[in-house]
Every structure is written in structure tokens, then in C-alpha cells.
Amino acid sequence: MTLEAILAYVHLLAILTMVVFISSEAALCRVQWLNAAVVERLARVDMVYGIAAGAVLLSGIARTWWGVKGTVWYWTNPLLHLKLGLFAIVGIVSVFPTMRYLRWRKTLRATGAMPSESEIVKTRKLVMIQAHLIALIPLVAVFFARGFGK
């Protein structure tokens, strides 16, 4: 039972970290606020977001293996697959802002040039899509935890 509580805590902590850092990206990635320091910061914030997302996935998988409900309970429930599907979509969408932040930082360091307004706006839209999709995952999770989908 202690292991279950620790796994749940680690999973929740990783989720909260992920949410904090995607929120930070959304706050920073604005035309009005973007300057050289913010370009550097966005790359670092996105890196922590990615690490937190990895921790969410790994701790979630650990819960299915070592949690008290067992792998059969988790992996036969379609709601787990819905959660993982939403998480995968978020992960796929997140690749584009990550690549842009790295490109912006590389360009900034090499030439001092800032990204265009249209590129910032497009990137922010992708960050907001991620943030909104992430908000749907706990909705599925509360039903999943209460035995729906079986």
C-alpha cells in the first residue's frame, strides 16, 4: 500500500510540474513579451516540460505494473487508452514548439535576430492546444479511477 501511495504521489507531482511548465510557456510565448531573454528561457522551460512529461508517462506506467489494481485492470480499460491517446497527441503537438524554440535560440545566438510575429503567434497556438488537451486528461482520469469503462 505504501508503494501505491508513493507511485500516486510521484505521478501527481509530475503532472503538476508538467502543467506549471506548459502554463509558463503559454505565458512567455507572446508577441508583446518576447525578447532575447525570453527566447532563452522558453527553451529551458520547454526542456523541463518535456522531462516532466516523461516522468508522467513513466510514473503512470509504473502504477500499472506495481499498483494494487494490477496490469489487467489498467490495460483492459479503454479509458486508459483514451488517456494515453490524448497524451500522445499532446506529445506530437509539443514537438513543433520545441523545434521552434531551439531554432529561435540558435538564430538569436548566431545573428541576434528574433522570430517573426506570425511565427510567435503560430507557436503560441500550438502551446495553447497542448494546454487545453492536457486539461481533458484528468476528466478521463476521474472516470477511469472510479471504474468506468469496464
Contact 93, 7 (CB under 8 A): no
- Cβ burial, residue 55 (10 Å; 0-12/13-18/19+): middle
Look at residue 9 in the predicted model and tell me its pLDDT: 97
Q: What is the pLDDT along the chain (150 residues), one digit of tens a residue?
A: 799 999 999 999 999 999 999 999 999 999 999 999 999 999 999 999 999 999 999 999 999 999 888 899 899 999 999 999 999 999 999 999 999 999 999 999 999 999 999 999 999 999 999 999 999 999 999 999 888 887
DSSP-derived letter for residue 115 is: P
> How many other CB atoms sit within 10 Å of the CB of residue 99?
12
